[in-house]
Copies of this chain bind each other. A is one copy, B any other.
Amino acid sequence: MTRLFNDPDEFAAEMIEGFAAASARWVRAVPGGVVRSTRGAEPTVALVIGGGSGHYPAFGGLVGPGLAHGAAMGNLFASPSAQRVHSVAAAADEGRGVLLSYGNYAGDVLHFDQAQERLRAEGVDCRTVRVTDDVSSAPAEEIEKRRGIAGDLTVFKIAGAAAEAGYDLDGVERVANRANSRTRSFGVAFGGCTLPGADEPLFDVPEGRMAVGLGIHGEPGIDEVDVPTADGLAELFVTKLLDEVPEGVSRDGARVVPILNGLGSVKYEELYVVYASVARRLEEAGLVLVSPEVGEFCTSFDMAGASLTLLWLDEELERLWLEPCDTPAFRRGAVAGRVAVREEDLVAAGPSREIGPSTEESRDAAATAAAVLDALARMLDEQAEELGRIDRIAGDGDHGIGMQRGSAAASAAAAAAAEAGAGAGTLLRCAGDAWSDEGGGTSGAIWGRMLDALGGELGDEHPVDTAAVGAGVTRMKEAIMSFGKAQPGDKTMIDAVVPFADELSARIAAGDGLLEAWTSAVEAARRGAEETADMVARLGRARSHGDKSLGTPDPGAVSFSLAARTALEVLAERGEGAA
């Protein structure tokens, strides 16, 4: 368990402070994460990696010459916000384009994609390569749905070496994609970690048992067996990974890099005992082992678990894998002379939103919005534990804490914006930025986008009447549907948002007042959230999650439904029915 922290809410920020202080030879802190503290003679493509904190050396520990140029570091197990990714990428950019690379998780995809959009809008050529190495997270035909685990290292190392060698952005993207298509990992776990300040571990594995294929945040695995011997685990790892030789690779005589990774409390000696057996089995299968790595490359705090990764080499990948690099946690050979970056060369963080002119009516509506956000934050603070419990059943259990953090930040940002005289539109957009930035994960990104859409429609100078609110909610619905890939009926948050928005529009069109229409829409959201627990409809998803998710509603749909009801209470209390 995690024992050493001060305020749990400040853990990630203090961790980054300590990391940057201890690692000044390689990195310096910028808003949102770290970038290199040295620069080479010629500008190169910038590799920007990132993800939630709690996986050290992923991601900050891999920044330095020959590897990454910057790492966006999110809260614990929560994607960095689009703002953080953008800030780090802007600081890392050397004018030859930016490659974003990260493990494939919904929250990271949303935030990195948003950052990519913004970078492109600013004229920076930006590409993305998602790492999808975990063979147990989806079948081979759906490789793009797989999670990224310890295979992050091979993709980052290859891309970083290519950038260092002067490849252009097309070239770096090409080899990173090839490295990903030739990297496969398989993991097991014996027990989960406990986040700072939490009372319970993220997940449990019964004593003497081993979860097979479990994800690094506790995402459900594919099987559970008795803890095997070291030989037994080596056999399992090698069998699983030789079962799926990447397309275009001939197994016989193939050259591979094996990476045996400890998740946190499976220690070096145990890993070496397993590695002795892994190496024997791979060689017996006719493979040639190149520059193996045994250690901790992608952890999950003190989670008890391990994974084996194979990178199937070709000539170019082997050359790039063996190139020198020098980072806080991964070093190889000798990197040619570097110079320290001067303070004044560092790019400042992007501007925060300006508070423009607004009408008095809009400022009144802003006060109501701030009151709603304040009530939401208090409600989500109370519900965080229960939402986490629901999320742990089929997901990674971070929904509660993410909503708690995000809504608290949004409420604080709204209060500050109101204080500064912002209209309704700007206040909601500031709150959305804060929710996304602090909440992290998928839910943070979605709520950030929803508030942004609502605020965009309401503006600061238009009348905020029932019709305007109805139109704002419709925009909100459209934003979330264009943003993620889920459709109504997929049993996600959408199944609460769509009925809510549709019922609200229909009732307003039929002449209802805001309170009346909203009351009816809350009921529709509640029914929608409940239906996400429908057993028959969930069967498809349950198949890849074990049976445990059957009968449990989607936590995002539940929290949206609760939020809609809380908003109704505030609106009623403030007598906004007449608006």
Contacts and interface: CB of A to CB of B under 8 A. Distances in A.
B269 A54 contact: yes
A240 to B, nearest CB: 16
Given A229-B6, A265-B264, A269-B11, A18 B276 contact: yes
A342 B2 CA distance: 47
A17 to B, nearest CB: 4
Contacts of A21: 275-276, 279, 292
B267 A18 contact: no
A389 interface: no
A314 interface: no
Contact of A276 (B17, B53, B265, B271): B17
Interface stretch (A79-87, A293-301, A544-552, A561-569): A293-301
B3 A273 contact: no
Interface in A385-411: none
Q: Which of A2, A19, A272, A279 has the most CB of B within 10 A?
A: A272
A270 interface: yes
A168 interface: no
Interface stretch (A331-339, A366-374, A502-510): A331-339
Nearest to A54: B269
A56 B268 contact: yes
B231 A273 contact: no
A15 interface: yes
25 contacts: A3-B190, A5-B230, A6-B229, A6-B230, A14-B277, A15-B273, A16-B272, A18-B272, A18-B274, A19-B294, A22-B272, A22-B275, A22-B293, A22-B294, A54-B269, A56-B267, A56-B269, A56-B272, A61-B268, A265-B302, A266-B302, A267-B299, A269-B301, A296-B296, A334-B334
Given A18-B279, A22-B272, A61-B268, 8 more contacts: A3-B227, A4-B227, A4-B230, A18-B294, A21-B275, A54-B269, A265-B302, A334-B335
Contacts of A268: 56-57, 61, 299
A233 interface: yes
A553 to B, nearest CB: 32
Copy tally for this chain in the complex stands at 2
A462 interface: no
Interface string A275-313: 111010000000000011111100101101010000000
A6 B231 contact: yes
Contacts of A231: 6
A543 B268 CA distance: 35
A39 interface: no
Q: Is the interface of A mostly helix, strand, loop or mixed?
A: mixed
Contacts of A53: 269
Contact of A233 (B2, B4, B269, B277): B4
Interface string A14-41: 1111110110010000000000000000
Q: Which of A4, A268, A293 has the most CB of B within 10 A?
A: A4
B272 A15 contact: yes
Contacts of A230: 4-6, 14
B291 A25 contact: yes
A19 B334 contact: no
Contacts of A296: 296
A59 to B, nearest CB: 12
Given A21-B276, A22-B294, A3 B270 contact: yes
A291 B294 CA distance: 25
A334 B324 CA distance: 10
A324 to B, nearest CB: 8
B14 A273 contact: yes
Contacts of A304: 3, 302
Contacts of A57: 268
Interface string A248-278: 0000000000001000111111111111110
